[in-house]
C-alpha cells in the first residue's frame, strides 16, 4: 500500500538564505538590484501562509479532517 506524501516539503534553497540571518545580512549590506531582492523575497514567501492559504474540509459536518494548503509563488 502506498503511503501519502508528507505534508511538509523541505525547501533546501530557502535554508541557504535563512540560516544565520544570511539574507538579512545581504539586505543590510546593500548593493543588490531590485529584481534580485524581489526574486529572493518571492522565493522565501513561496509555500508559506504569507501568500495565502486554502482551507479544505470534509463535506461531512461530523468529520474532523481539515487540510490547509499554502499558495505558491508560481515562479521558477
pLDDT, tens only, 17-44 = 888 888 888 899 988 999 999 988 888 8
Domain-embedded: residue 1: no
Q: What is the pLDDT of residue 10?
A: 66
Provide the domain count of the chain: 1
Domain-embedded: residue 34: yes
Q: Which domain holds residue 60?
A: 12-70
Domain-embedded: residue 28: yes
DSSP class of 47: T
Q: What is the pLDDT of residue 34?
A: 94
| pLDDT one-digit tens code per residue, 48-58 | 888 899 999 98
Q: Would you say the pTM of this structure is higher than 0.85?
A: no
50 touches 61 (CB < 8 A)? no
* More confidently predicted of 1 and 45: 45
- How far apart CA 47 and CA 70 sit, in angstroms, is 5
Instruction: Using CB atoms within 10 Å of the CB of residue 76, give its burial: 0 to 12 exposed, 13 to 18 middle, 19+ buried.
Output: exposed
Q: What is the pLDDT of residue 7?
A: 67
Domain-embedded: residue 60: yes
Amino acid at each position: 500500500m502506498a503511503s501519502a506524501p508528507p505534508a511538509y516539503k523541505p525547501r533546501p534553497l530557502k535554508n541557504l538564505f535563512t540560516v544565520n540571518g544570511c539574507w538579512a545580512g545581504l539586505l543590510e549590506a546593500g548593493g543588490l538590484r531590485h529584481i534580485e531582492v524581489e526574486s529572493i523575497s518571492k522565493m522565501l514567501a513561496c509555500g508559506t501562509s504569507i501568500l495565502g492559504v486554502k482551507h479544505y474540509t470534509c463535506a461531512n459536518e461530523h468529520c474532523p479532517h481539515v487540510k490547509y494548503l499554502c499558495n505558491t509563488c508560481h515562479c521558477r
